[in-house]
Chains A and B, each alone.
Chain A
């Protein structure tokens, strides 16, 4: 039996707008999500901001109830058996919130060990081991308020592991971290996966999911678009070539013309310091470079490369370039 299973899972939020005459607005955060995750799998959930990744994580970790459908974790119903699930899972959200800033790292882990009913004799050994795992042993007695963002994130992971959970939910664990800190977190995740833990990882960093995950689900606007391994996802864009052009002074008219070009499958933009990065997916991109540059006449071209498509390109094709702007 899958260790995580959802069946037609949906979640709607009600928000209110207006000051005097308030109006209710329904937001469909998740719609008909069907997923099966096996024990020991490192499963990735990719999606742009607002896709529903955090909502799905919260439903599976019993923080939120679904409005329709079912979800089971460890064979237990998240709605009716939340109390049985909670001791066996760990939850880590990205960002600086979620810690007691006036406690030290050691005090934080001791507190959560008590909340997670970890016997004192086990906690006594486990806490130093976790601090060692996340590289905070020599900062154990310092207050969290003095920690860098990367250190706080590592403490989050240690806190999420305090009960030695069978399933670990990591919601954007590297968000806002510098490349070195991100790499450290990915190493930790990789090591945990090697130990056999089931890990549910959400991210909007394609390279992270490509590097770590055995399977990936792509989520957009609350719906799962595709579930497969990163290699298979990349094959969906195997018919494409990618042209990357870094340019300064690209006009809206030029962009519109590129977008409308019959041989342009997708175009999305990325900021690149002072320049704009144009990522063009095309069936024969390499032979069309001259045409694309001609359209950008007037702009200063800094760099042009052609390459094979990556997981990111597959993702863009699935969710659409507009989703990349969020």
Chain B
């Protein structure tokens, strides 16, 4: 058992490293990681500032950072599988002794860690472009919120990765869902502007709780305590993990039954 754990850990770390190397030279990834958070921050803060709501500027910065984190995980975790298909490596991964779940976990983790940069960039943009006083009331809690959000995003990325293995058209679906997710999660507008009947859907999304957790730790008014947001992120992470784990066991058999791993 110890040998198996060591082997899987080494495979996970190697997948993490391979993903980091591949992404560092990928222009699309660089675009979603760097330019998109900056643009969203400029737009979001500008809208609130010049729309008579300057007190929401920090909220807008955090929301833009979360958009960067979400995009990075959605697109790159989904595109992990599509890229593996396109390059013809997916079959070799499925045929290796390491489970696809472990491999994609390593790669998703790599993407999630890189997305911390997105958050840093949104704060830097707010500071430089708008001279915002970006004071975080509870820095340690903010750090905790970042880490829990990244874990939850990693688990979500894993789940999405499994769907992308099964359905080649999942990428198109992800495109369609992008902006609805931003709005439902309160990343562009506060949740309070959304009708009550839609909020249960909002609260089922990890991006919502990530945003609330960061905002709460930053000292922005929120109906949810930091502890509640931590619990929600942990609970969602566990849920995504369980669903993803089950899906990966199903996937190993389905892809071998259907074939098509080399088609994209």
Contacts and interface: CB of A to CB of B under 8 A. Distances in A.
A114 B97 contact: no
Contacts of A101: 87
A95 B91 CA distance: 14
Contacts of B205: none
Given A63-B91, A114-B15, A116-B96, 11 more contacts: A61-B95, A83-B97, A86-B97, A91-B95, A97-B88, A98-B87, A98-B89, A102-B21, A111-B18, A115-B103, A117-B11
Interface string B96-109: 11100001000000
B175 interface: no
B183 interface: no
Interface in B74-103: 87-89, 91-98, 103
Interface in A36-92: 58, 61-65, 82-83, 86-87, 91
A107 B92 contact: no
B250 to A, nearest CB: 14
B22 A117 contact: no
Contacts of B7: 117
A100 B259 CA distance: 22
A249 interface: no
Nearest to B94: A63
Contacts of B91: 58, 63, 93, 98
Contact of B14 (A99, A110, A159): A110
17 contacts: A58-B259, A63-B94, A64-B259, A87-B97, A97-B88, A100-B22, A100-B87, A102-B25, A102-B26, A107-B18, A111-B14, A111-B18, A114-B13, A114-B15, A115-B15, A116-B97, A117-B98
A63 B261 contact: yes
Contacts of A117: 7, 10-11, 97-98
B199 interface: no
Contacts of A115: 11, 14-15, 93, 96-98, 103
A128 interface: no
Contacts of A62: 95, 256
A207 interface: no
Given A98-B91, A100-B89, A114 B14 contact: yes
A205 interface: no
A91 B92 contact: yes
A64 B98 contact: no
B257 interface: yes
A65 B89 contact: no
Interface string B5-37: 001001101110110011001100000000000
Contacts of B87: 97-101
Task: From B26, B92, B103, B259, name the one whose CB has the most chain A CB atoms within 10 angstroms.
Answer: B92
Contacts of A97: 87-89, 262
Interface residues of B, number: 30
Nearest to A14: B258
Interface of A: 13, 58, 61-65, 82-83, 86-87, 91, 93, 95, 97-103, 107, 110-112, 114-117, 120, 159, 163
A112 B96 contact: yes
A120 B10 contact: yes
A93 B90 CA distance: 13
B264 to A, nearest CB: 10
A120 B25 CA distance: 27
Contact of B256 (A64, A111, A116): A64
A101 B21 CA distance: 11
B94 A107 contact: no
Nearest to A110: B14
A99 B253 CA distance: 24
Given A115-B11, A116-B97, A98 B256 contact: no
Contacts of A116: 96-98
Given A83-B97, A120-B10, A65 B88 contact: no
A158 to B, nearest CB: 13
B21 A103 contact: yes
A82 B103 CA distance: 17
A82 B261 CA distance: 17
B18 A103 contact: yes
Nearest to B24: A102
Contacts of B10: 114, 117, 120
A104 B14 CA distance: 14
A103 B22 contact: yes
Contacts of A82: 256
Contacts of B17: 111
A283 B87 CA distance: 49
A55 B92 CA distance: 15
A114 B18 CA distance: 11
Contacts of B11: 114-115, 117
B128 to A, nearest CB: 32
Contacts of A114: 10-11, 13-15, 98
B168 to A, nearest CB: 13
Contacts of A98: 87-89, 91-92
A115 B9 CA distance: 10
A9 to B, nearest CB: 14
A39 B55 CA distance: 75
Nearest to A101: B87
